[in-house]
Every structure is written in C-alpha cells, then in structure tokens.
Amino acid sequence: MKLKDRWKNLIPIILVVFMAGCLSTVKPAREAGWSAGQQKWVEKTIRKMSLEEKIGQLVVARYHGEFYNRQDEDFKQLESLVRDYHLGGLILAGGEALETAYITNHFQQLAKVPLLIASDLERGTGNQVTGATLFPPLMALGAAGSEKLAYEMGRITAIEGRALGIHMTYAPVVDVNINPDNPIINTRSAGEDPELVARLTAAFIRGCQSNGMMATAKHFPGHGDTDQDSHSLLPVIRADLERLEKVELYPFQKAIDQRVEAIMTAHLYVPALEPEPNIPATLSPRLLTDLLRNKMGFKGLIVTDALEMAGISRYFTPEEAAFRALKSGVDLLLLPPEPVKVINYLKQAVEQGDLPLAKVEESVRRVLAAKARLGLNRSSLVSLDRLPLVLGQPEFKKAALETFESALTLIRNENNLLPLRPGKKIVILSLSSDPGDFYAGRKLAVALTSRFPSAQTFYADGDTGREKLEEALTACRQAEVIIAALFSSLRAGKGSVDLEPAQIELLQKVKEAGRPVVVLSFGSPYFIRHLPQVDSYLCLYRSTPETQELAARAICGEIRISGRLPVSIPGLYPYGYGLTLEKINEWEEK
C-alpha cells in the first residue's frame, strides 16, 4: 500500500488531540527479530535495574577522544554520569585513534550495563577520528551516482568504527535538499531527487549494518526544504501532505524497508503533520508514534537530534523537552543539557504517574536489544593493538579517493578553457567566507604552483579588507587565466553557506576585465548563481587535501571528469547536468 493511501484514514485523526500517554504495543521479542539468547539477556538485565538505572539507559552524553588527566574535572563528571547515573550511551565528538579507543574502553569498564557508543560519521570514521578514512559528503556520492561507492563507504565506516569501539553512526542523512539556501543540510544530502537519495543511502545502510554498525537515517521527517538552521531556531516545513509523501518521507520509508536500525528526529515544525502550533517533530506523538511507528512500520530505535540545540532549548526546558520526547515515542535522548537534572526529573515523573513506567521499559528493551545484537552483552572492549592494522588501510583510502574523484562535476567550460595547457600565466585566488580561514586553499596553491611555477596566489577570508582584494584584482588583470577557489564551511549555527559579497564583487570585476576565470567550488554547488558568466566551473563539494589535489589534476586534464549535478541550479542548470572532460597526457609528457 502506498504511504499516501495509508494516510487517508489518518487525516481525520490528526485533527484531534491524542492522549499524551498513548503507547504503541511492545512486540514479542521473537517477532522483533531478537534471538532467544538476546531476549534472555535483555529480560535478565532489565529485571535487575532500578528505576533510575532504567531512565539512565535512555540518556546519552558527549565525550572526546583526547588525552585526559584522571583528575580533570570534565573527565570526572563523565565518569560519574557513566558509573553513578548509568547512562545508556556516549557520543564521540572528535579525537585521536588511540585515545578514543583507550577512553572508550575505560568508560565501558565503568558501566554496569555496556554503553552504546555513537558518533556522527557522515563522512566516514575519519570525520571524527584522526587516522581513519575520510570520505566526501553525500552530495559527492550523489554526483557520482554509484551504489557501489555508497556501500563501500558504509562498509569501511563500520569496520573502522567498530575497531575503535563505536557501535552506531548518526548517518546517513536522508534529507532531500530541495532548498538551495539550506544552511545546514546542503552538501550533507545526496541531492534533490528522492529516488537518488533513497537509493544511495539504502546502499550505505546495507554496507554499514552488514558489517556490524548501526546506521541512523536522519533527520525525520525531513530537513531539506528550509533556509533556517535548527541549531539556532525552530524551522517550519510548509509543504502539504502530498509533497511530504513524495519527497521528504520517501527516503525514510525506503530506509525502513532496508531495516535501518535507528532514525533521528528533527527539531522542525511541520504543520501538515502536526496541527498543534510550534511543536517540533521531536516532541510530536503524531509524527513519532502515529506516523513513524504505526503507519511507516519502523521498529528500531528513535533517537533525538541534540536536545541542546536551540530548535528545542529556546522553547522548552531540558526537563520538559526530555519528558515530552519520551512520551512522544523517543527511545534515546541525545545530549540533554544538565543530564543529571533530566534523569531526576524523569524519575519523579514516573513515580508520580505522569510518565508511564511501561513506556520507559519499552524503550529500555529496545536499547538493550540493540546492544545485544551488537554483541555487547558478550564483550564491550576493543584491542588497541589492532588499530594500526585496521584504520586507514590502503584499500580503504583507495575507495575514498575513487569516491572523491568520481564526484568531480564540470558544469561550465566555455571555449574549451579546460584543460589548461602548460606555460599559462595564472593567478590563484583562494577566497573563503569564513573568518580565520585565510589559507583555505594552500594545498591547492602548492599543487598548482608545481604545474605553473610563475603562478601568483592571493588569499582572503571573511575578515579580509577591500584594499587586499584590490591588489588581487590588479594582478588578475595581468594574468592569462584566473583560478578562483571558493570556500564556505557548512557548520552548525553559522546561518549561511554563501559567499562574501566583496569576494563575489572581485570575481565579477575580474570577468568584466576580460580575463578567463575558472571557478572551483569546494562547498555548495549553488555558488554559481552569483557567477553565471564565469568561463569554467567545477564542483568538488568539500574542501579536503584530497579535493584540492584532485582539483589541480582535473583542470590540467590529468584525470577524467564525469560527475553529474545531484541538484538543479535554479535558472541555470538542471538536475543531472554535467560535462565530461577526458583525461589528456600532455602534462604527463612534460
């Protein structure tokens, strides 16, 4: 039955107020896919738990994989949360490989019940841990269009993550990026086509979960059609039900069909699904229980996006947000501010009858069952000696490089400007919109200068004044070709991934002076909306050492360019557009 048909019977229901304590039925263990041994461990463990221990299993805090002195106050607070408040899990937020594994083992040894260790590995384990393999963002996979590469990304992420003691990744992003001004999803999405997004993320999920790591589809019910960031406020998705079914919900349904083990909620208000004003999806029983569980058939863990984000914290206290999230159908509360206060508040809510104990135990069973499926009931520690044998293997790096290279997308090449021939007099402009990121294009400059020894390089960031930009303009007027590298990071709370107006003006003046301009976009492909008349435009989707080296090779014809736009550029280029540029041998013969 189509999701639209399923909703026909629900539409009258969502217009009335449901009982806040309405619970979904707990499935028998065997029906939920648990083995008899796992079921036995789950029931034995939950029988021994106090109320406080049960509530602790539903709370997750942050840690870093870095060196700590044992007397460090932050470290001691984390130890107390694990040992005394029985947290269900921790979220790794960056670190070094050996420190990560060592500290993770330490916390596992403190825990009465094994911890579920998670991390945001959207671009592979190297996204968080130095020394592990780093992949491009999902939009690069969308440009490559390869399920094989998506599967490999999931597989390698799982192998490296599990070696470090990480059991769960908050990936993939299954949001469909249909708003060019989206400040927080953008290149994190595979693209604007729901079918493409569903196909590639399903492959990632298969690769990840078949190699022992839980995948998490996010951000339900879909964060792709907004120009606001839920880290800063509560965005509103104003699409009607028909559009939501065809676009936002479609990849989630496909992920559920692929048996994704977790789904992360979004701090979004969606009036077509939640008639009560300004109720985020994270706190909506209509979205999480009625839609996600009952209509879409999801049986795994529902986890919140970070509860410290302003999309929640500006409107609800930490205690109220946690309470409402659990009653709505959430299983794991991620990063609530002041977790001890939250645990105590939820304990009191159960004791007073405001939060049903059965609801708490239902979620605890799901959490424990996930831990059992991961084998944590048998062993939760990892070997530090194995890390140099697992992380960053040559075959892993080769797969990542193939993904970066397959994503290169050329959408403009007037008069066959590319590939550039040896001997050209070039000026390199490294232009970053981020203050403090002055040398963003340094590796690109090194790679290009090795090919064009007389090249001049000018750097600018978000704080660079017009006087410096005028110096660059003067040099550009004497060059044969200008290569402009554009950088604008995608990060929480920034509010925009667009370019600096003064830098756009510089490039427009260069073009007006009649100089050929090659633009390299190391971020959003939508930058070209400001520069539609440039001679060549190459999308690389992310700034990394790999992409900067690949950019130099690509514009010199040393590698083949074959990517296709996974999004449309309004008024300029359609979805799926891209030029193919074959490799030439001229540079190799020099």
**Average predicted confidence (pLDDT) for the chain:** 92
- Encoding tokens for residue 390? 């697992």
Give the count of beta carbons closer than 10 Å to the beta carbon of residue 84.
12
* 577-585: Cβ within 8 A, 24+ apart: 577/411, 578/143, 578/409, 578/410, 578/411, 579/410, 579/411, 579/412, 579/413, 580/410, 581/410, 581/413, 581/418, 581/419, 581/554, 581/557, 582/557, 583/557, 583/558, 583/559, 584/419, 584/557, 584/558
Is the pLDDT reported for residue 5 higher than 80? no
Confidence band, pLDDT 50/70/90 cuts, at residue 6: very low
Q: Mind giving me the DSSP string for 105-124?
A: HHHHHH-SS--EEEE--BTB
Strand partners, 481: 426
Per-residue burial over 511-536, b if 16 or more Cβ lie within 10 Å, else e, is beeebbbbbbbbbbbbbbbbbeebbb
Q: Is the pLDDT of residue 360 over 80?
A: yes
Q: What average pLDDT does the segment 192-216 reach?
A: 98
Tell me what pLDDT residue 27 has: 38
Q: Is the pLDDT of residue 84 over 90?
A: yes
pLDDT band at 135 (very low <50, low <70, confident <90, very high): very high
Cβ neighbors of 255 (< 8 A, separation 6 or more) are 174, 198, 201, 202, 205, 217, 263
pLDDT surpassing 60 at residue 15: no
Q: Is the confidence at residue 284, as pLDDT, over 70?
A: yes
- 225: DSSP letter: S
Instruction: Please classify residue 397 by burial: count the beta carbons closer than 10 Å to its beta carbon, then call 0-12 exposed, 13-18 middle and 19+ buried.
Output: middle
pLDDT in tens, 527-581: 999 999 999 999 999 999 999 999 999 999 999 999 999 999 999 999 999 999 9
pLDDT at 401: 97
Q: What are phi and psi of 411, to 5 degrees?
A: -115, -5
Residue 236, helix vs strand vs coil: strand
Active site residue 120: no
* pLDDT confidence of residue 497: 78
Q: In the prediction, which pLDDT does 590 show? A: 43
Q: Give catalytic status of residue 231 as yes or no.
A: yes
The answer to whether the CB of 187 falls within 8 A of the CB of 524 is: yes
Residue 503 is given by DSSP the state: H
Q: Answer whether 166's CB lies under 8 Å from 119's CB.
A: yes
Which of helix, strand or coil describes residue 521?
strand
The model carries a pTM of: 0.91
Cα separation, 560 vs 419, whole angstroms: 10
- What average pLDDT does range 496-511 have in this prediction? 90
Confidence of residue 517 (pLDDT cuts 50, 70, 90): very high
Q: Which of 174, 179, 162, 164 is nearest to 221 (CA)?
A: 174
For residue 519, CA distances in Å to 211, 396, 414, 449, 569 come to: 39, 30, 12, 17, 15
- With 80 as the cut, is the pLDDT of residue 299 above it? yes
Q: In this predicted model, what pLDDT tens digit does every residue of 317-336 receive, in sequence order?
A: 999 999 999 999 999 999 99
Q: How many CA atoms lie within 13 A of 346 on its CB side?
A: 33
In the chain, what are the helix, strand and coil shares in percent, each to the nearest 5? 40, 15, 45
- How many Å apart are CA 556 and CA 422, to the nearest integer? 8
- Domains of the chain by start residue, with CATH: 51-394 (3.20.20.300), 408-589 (3.40.50.1700)
167, 219, 223, 231: the active-site residue: 231
**Which of residues 183 and 209 earns the better pLDDT score?**
209
Read off the pLDDT of residues 241-256 as tens digits, 9 standing for 90 and up.
Answer: 999 999 999 999 999 9
pLDDT computed for residue 228 by the predictor: 82
Residue 43 main-chain phi, psi, to 5 deg: -70, -40
DSSP 8-state symbol, 125: G
As a whole number of angstroms, the distance between CA 396 and CA 394 comes to: 5
Does 191 score more than 50 pLDDT? yes
| pLDDT cut 70: percent of the chain above it | 93
Residue 65 has pLDDT above 70, yes or no: yes
* Residue 231 near residue 307, CB atoms below 8 Å: no
48 exposure class (CB count in 10 Å sphere: 0-12, 13-18, 19+):
exposed
Does residue 251 have a cis peptide bond before it, meaning omega lies within 30 degrees of 0? no
- Of residues 193, 290, 305, 461, which has the active-site annotation? 305
Q: For residues 267-290, give the mean pLDDT.
A: 96
* Amino acid code (one letter) for 99: E
The pLDDT score that the predictor gives to residue 586 is 57
Please check the confidence at residue 285 and state whether its pLDDT lies above 70: yes
Q: Give mean pLDDT, residues 80-95.
A: 97
